[in-house]
């Protein structure tokens, strides 16, 4: 009963903190002013994602006290999540050179992997593959890429919040599918529920048309937190890593396809742009809401069933990723991901 009482507390705390942060941003002139590289047209306060971070991390340590979660997972999320959020907060208020941000990102990934035990064995076509120290390096790159792509994909109202909620719901259903919801091995499910509530409180203010933006602190935190939870799930059952990669498919495909296309063209990839597929789509429809809702629908009605199929052992994980990503790649091409705007 105590845990279920925490859920509305987290949601309410996030809701109130976001409102307070909006007033703070307005008072300090922390406003995103629309420019040629923006996907919005109205000056809007930023930095509201701090509410997600605070409401989630303040309550998280209660879970091991209640015997629901091991301290190792909490330490991974607390240390890495707080560090990444602080780095993003400082960048929101000024500017931190890209090399120092990247160094901080890898330091945060290293902290999380220390407590998680590194990369779990990969299940590929029925064979368990141990990658050793190379695997730990792959896991660090994975966490840092999720962190950054989540920041790249937080460009229109409600998108990053809806993505996080859908992925967390999917992750919880995977535990239920395996019959682990009442097991000690299902500790991630309690964390997922808390994160859903923290994001939901913020989404009240961020739903199109947004009254406040998430900012780097919130988007980076969500990206790395979801990455940590995906690795924790894979330690429970190796095929779940593939399921999580499928659940995150919309963000992974759009961000990775766009980045590769810009790299091949010789663009400075660290410069702001608006050439992601979701940004072209929002301009085509003239509003953010249809794109955000369609992404939610893709998550729930396409990616989630395939993730559950993989999680239940119905299909190999790598093959499931190929099946799930194929139409997403077609959509990325259709909506000109990575193309120069002048050519579209």
Distance CA 330, CA 322 (A): 12
Contacts with 317 (C-beta within 8 Å, 6 or more apart), sequence order? 123, 124, 239, 241, 242, 243, 245, 310
Question: Which candidate, 266, 258, 233, 245, places its Cα nearest to that of 332?
Answer: 258
Task: Please give the residue that has the higher pLDDT: either 344 or 249.
Answer: 249
Confidence of residue 340 (pLDDT cuts 50, 70, 90): confident
Token couple for 117: 């035990």
Q: Identify the weakest region by mean pLDDT among 224-228, 260-264, 267-271.
A: 267-271
Model confidence at 259: pLDDT above 60: yes
Q: What average pLDDT does this structure show over 239-244?
A: 96
Q: Cβ(206)–Cβ(78) under 8 Å?
A: no
Rounding to the nearest 10 degrees, give the CA dihedral for residues 86, 91, 97, 99: 40
Which pLDDT band, with edges at 50, 70 and 90, does 153 fall under? very high
Q: Taking residues 125-151, what's their average pLDDT?
A: 92
pLDDT score recorded for residue 311: 94
> Is the predicted pLDDT of residue 255 greater than 60, yes or no?
yes
* Cis before 209 (ω within 30): yes
pLDDT at residue 38, as a whole number: 59
Segment holding 90, helix H or strand E: helix 71-93
Q: What does the alpha-carbon distance between residue 240 and residue 232 come to, in Å, rounded to a whole number?
A: 9
Residues 6+ positions from 72 with CB-CB distance below 8 Å: 115, 116
Q: How close are the terminal C-alpha atoms of the chain, in Å?
A: 55
CA distance 68 to 170: 20
Rounded to an integer, the average pLDDT of 19-46 is: 78
How far is it, in rounded angstroms, from Cα 315 to Cα 240? 12
With a cut of 60, say whether residue 1 has pLDDT above it.
Answer: no
H-helix or E-strand spanning residue 129: strand 127-129
Range with lowest mean pLDDT among 73-87, 116-130, 160-174, 327-341: 116-130
Residue 267: pLDDT band with limits 50, 70, 90: confident
DSSP state, residue 95: -
Average per-residue pLDDT for the chain: 91
Q: Output b/e per residue, 29-39; b: 16+ Cβ within 10 A.
A: ebebeeeeebb
Confidence of residue 21 (pLDDT cuts 50, 70, 90): very high
Cβ-Cβ contacts under 8 Å for 3 (sequence gap 6 or more): 63, 66, 68, 190
At residue 182 the predicted structure's pLDDT band, cuts being 50, 70 and 90, is: low
Strand-pair partners of 127: 124
Which residues are paired to 31 by β-bridges? 45
Higher pLDDT, 25 or 38: 25
What average pLDDT does this structure show over 216-229? Answer: 96
Beta strand pairing call for 127-129 and 122-124: antiparallel
Residues in the annotated binding site for Mg(2+): 151, 216
User: How far apart are alpha carbons 112 and 89 in whole angstroms?
Assistant: 20
Percent over 70 (pLDDT), the chain: 94
Q: Which residues are annotated as a binding site?
A: 151, 216
Average pLDDT of the segment spanning 234-241: 92
CA 166 and chain centroid, separation: 10
Does the pLDDT value for residue 271 go beyond 80? Answer: no
């Amino acid at each position: 009963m105590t845990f279920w009482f925490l859920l509305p507390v987290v949601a309410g705390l996030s809701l109130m903190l976001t409102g307070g942060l909006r007033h703070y941003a307005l008072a300090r002139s922390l406003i995103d002013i629309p420019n040629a590289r923006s996907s919005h047209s109205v000056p809007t306060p930023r930095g509201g994602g701090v509410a997600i971070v605070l409401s989630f991390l303040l309550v998280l340590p209660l879970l091991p006290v209640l015997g629901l979660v091991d301290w190792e997972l909490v330490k991974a999320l607390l240390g890495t999540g707080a560090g990444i959020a602080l780095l993003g907060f400082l960048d929101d208020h000024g500017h931190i050179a890209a090399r120092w941000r990247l160094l901080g990102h890898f330091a945060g990934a290293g902290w999380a992997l220390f407590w998680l035990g590194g990369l779990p064995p990969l299940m590929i076509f029925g064979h368990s593959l141990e990658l050793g120290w190379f695997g730990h390096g792959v896991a660090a790159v994975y966490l840092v890429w999720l962190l950054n792509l989540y920041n790249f994909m937080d460009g229109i109202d409600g998108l990053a919040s809806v993505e996080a909620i859908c992925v967390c719901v999917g992750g919880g259903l995977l535990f239920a599918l395996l019959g682990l919801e009442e097991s000690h091995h299902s500790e991630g499910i309690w964390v997922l529920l808390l994160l859903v509530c923290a994001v939901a409180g913020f989404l009240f203010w961020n739903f199109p048309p947004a009254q406040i933006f998430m900012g780097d602190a919130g988007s980076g935190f969500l990206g790395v937190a979801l990455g940590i939870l995906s690795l924790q799930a894979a330690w429970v059952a190796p095929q779940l890593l593939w399921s999580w990669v499928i659940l995150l498919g919309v963000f992974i495909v759009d961000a990775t396809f766009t980045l590769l296309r810009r790299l091949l063209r010789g663009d400075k990839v660290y410069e702001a742009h608006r050439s992601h597929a979701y940004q072209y789509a929002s301009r085509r429809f003239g509003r953010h809401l249809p794109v955000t809702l369609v992404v939610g629908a893709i998550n729930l009605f396409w990616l989630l069933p395939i993730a559950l199929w993989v999680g239940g052992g119905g299909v190999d994980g790598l093959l499931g990723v190929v099946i799930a990503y194929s139409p997403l790649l077609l959509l990325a091409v259709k909506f000109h991901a990575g193309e120069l705007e002048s050519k579209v």
